[in-house]
Amino acid sequence: MKEWLSRNERVVFFAAALAALLAVVLFYHVRVVAVSPEAVVRSGVGAELLAGAAKGRQGLIGSLKWPPLPTLLVLPFAKIPRFGTSGLAFPVVNAVLSAFTLTLLNGWLSGFRVPRGVRLPLLCLYQISPPVMAAMLTGGSATLMLLILMAGAYFLVHWLETLDVRSLAYLGVLGGLAVVTRYQTILLVALVGLIIVARVRRRRERAFRGGTVLVFLIPSVYTLALWFVGNWLIMGDPVFFLRGLASRSVLLAEIVELDFEWQLYVMPCLFLLGVHTLRKAKAARGVGRRTGALVVAVVVLLGVVAWQYVAELYLTERKESYFGRHYRQISQVDEIVAYLARYRPEAKVFVSGYTGYQFVARSSSKESFVHLMSLDAREIQRRTRGQQLFFLVPRPGASFGGRTSPSRPHGCSTNT
């Protein structure tokens, strides 16, 4: 592979990008701690995994909604008091991942001789575009997915040009990682597989074609198989991740309701298109053609980021914006936590499910909220003999904080 930027240049760029992004994270969260539910849940699961709690083992295997890789990334921070379980670790991890993405894009664009004066503003525009910046600041796995997709696009382009083994291997490994970050990427892996088949279709002997496809597919198949095996080893059920602790109907609802986040997939594709046009511009003969291609490339690359601003600032309601979509849920959790702190300061509150992690994260009194993955009445009785109990459980058939007012706990009982 051609070394487009020297190692030192890449390290310096990475360090500078990381410092800037961490400063942004700090600036944002000093003012308002608004992390996504995903970040809170993953951090909570990670903390329990590190504490050796059996329920934390689910963090290793994840679920269909939240595949395991992002949780594993946040594990090193999960034990840091307040920081680890509040979900704040995720924006920090995301800052690192974003710095990697920017470094990759910088190298990529510089390989196409995009001048620094164009390259750096373009990268800034990309990073501060609402979906990218919001994903980084509010935590969650979207930033990881973006890195995987961008890197995947990079290696795909390189492999299509050179057929070198390393790009193919990285493409395969990234496919495997993508599958355990978003299960929908199985389709993407299949699509890239088809592109690979198309590329090698007319080349060399049959063994070469078969070998090439295998080299690409092995990591994805392995990670997928590992997911099943992990579920079997840890939870005793190879398809546990498909339903988790929920019933089958909830599972179906989850699959249907899963946010496809199409902008995640569109962005690398458009970047690919932009870069491809840049290449054409470089190779084009004649000033007119070259200028034309360059203009198209710049328009596409600017369009990738520009339309996001239009959508965020003019076309979206505040609560549906990339930054604001978690506010409703967070404010409702905060409301309940404040209610209990004010009127029942002595109460020990048992919270369950993934939603329960949010109460633990948002409460200032860590003793008052006890999280259990499933409500075990005997365990609760044992711990709270003679005390008044509150159960906070998600209302069936309604997403938390959705159509019903959650300003009161959904169920109360007294354990005497």
Partner 1 sequence: MTEGKASSQQPSAREYKKIFFELLGRSPHLCAYRVLTRPQKLVILLALLVLIACLVLWPVVALIAVNGVLIVYYLVLCSWKLWLIDESLVSRREIEVTPEEVAALRDEDCPVYTLLVPLYHETETLARLVSSLGGLDYPKDKLDVIFLLEEDDHETRAAFAKLKLPGYIRGVVVPDMPPKTKPKACNLGLHLARGKYLVIYDAEDRPEPDQLKKAVIAFTRVAPSVVCIQAKLNFYNPRQNLLTRLFTVEYSMWFDLFLPGLDYLQQPIPLGGTSNHFVTEKLRELHGWDAFNVTEDCDLGVRLADRRYQTRILDSTTWEEACSDLGYWIRQRSRWIKGYVQTYLVHCRRPLRMLQGLGFWKTFGFHMIIGGTPICLLINPVYWVLALFWVVFRSERVALFFPFPIILFAALCLFVGNFVFVYGGVLAAYRRGYFDLVKTALLMPFYWVLMSVGAWKGFLQIITKPNYWEKTRHGLDLLRGARSRGDAAAAASAAPAEADET
The residues of the shown chain that bind partner 1, judged by CB under 8 A, are 1, 50-52, 60, 75, 162-166, 169, 173, 203-205, 207-208, 210-212, 214-215, 218-219, 222, 226, 233
**What is the closest distance, in whole angstroms, from the C-beta atom of residue 207 to partner 1 in the complex?**
4
3-state SS class at 387? coil
- Left, alpha or beta for 57 (phi > 0: left; psi -120 to 50: alpha)? alpha
**What is the closest distance, in whole angstroms, from the C-beta atom of residue 368 to partner 1 in the complex?**
27
Identify how many contiguous H helices and E strands the chain contains and give both numbers. 18, 4
Tell me whether residue 203 or residue 289 sits nearer to partner 1 (CB atom).
203
Distance CA 214, CA 208 (A): 10
The pair of structure tokens assigned to 122 is 């373009």
Tell me whether residue 69 or residue 392 sits nearer to partner 1 (CB atom).
69
Cβ-proximal residues to 295 (8 Å cutoff; 6+ apart), any chain: none
**What is the closest distance, in whole angstroms, from the C-beta atom of residue 400 to partner 1 in the complex?**
30
Tell me whether residue 190 or residue 214 sits nearer to partner 1 (CB atom).
214
Structural contact between residues 360 and 85, judged by C-beta atoms closer than 8 angstroms: yes
Q: Which amino acid is at 58?
A: Q
Extended beta strands in 31-175, E state: none
DSSP line for 214-244: HHHHHHHHHHHHHHHHHHHHHHS-TTHHHHT
**What is the closest distance, in whole angstroms, from the C-beta atom of residue 209 to partner 1 in the complex?**
8
Cβ burial, residue 31 (10 Å; 0-12/13-18/19+): exposed
CA angle 44, 359, 341 (to 5 degrees): 145
Tell me whether residue 113 or residue 204 sits nearer to partner 1 (CB atom).
204
Q: Which amino acid is at 216?
A: F
Residue whose pair of structure tokens reads 């500078």 in the numeric block? 16
Tell me whether residue 85 or residue 368 sits nearer to partner 1 (CB atom).
85
Structural contact between residues 347 and 160, judged by C-beta atoms closer than 8 angstroms: no
**What is the closest distance, in whole angstroms, from the C-beta atom of residue 158 to partner 1 in the complex?**
11
**What is the closest distance, in whole angstroms, from the C-beta atom of residue 187 to partner 1 in the complex?**
23
**What is the closest distance, in whole angstroms, from the C-beta atom of residue 161 to partner 1 in the complex?**
11
**What is the closest distance, in whole angstroms, from the C-beta atom of residue 52 to partner 1 in the complex?**
5
**What is the closest distance, in whole angstroms, from the C-beta atom of residue 203 to partner 1 in the complex?**
5
Tell me whether residue 75 or residue 270 sits nearer to partner 1 (CB atom).
75
Distance CA 82, CA 85 (A): 6
Tell me whether residue 23 or residue 233 sits nearer to partner 1 (CB atom).
233
Tell me whether residue 230 or residue 353 sits nearer to partner 1 (CB atom).
230
DSSP line for 175-222: HHHHHTT-TTHHHHHHHHHHHHHHHHTTSS-HHHHHHHHHHHHHHHHH
**What is the closest distance, in whole angstroms, from the C-beta atom of residue 64 to partner 1 in the complex?**
20
Residue whose pair of structure tokens reads 């409500």 in the numeric block? 375
Distance CA 225, CA 168 (A): 20
Tell me whether residue 162 or residue 249 sits nearer to partner 1 (CB atom).
162
Tell me whether residue 59 or residue 268 sits nearer to partner 1 (CB atom).
59
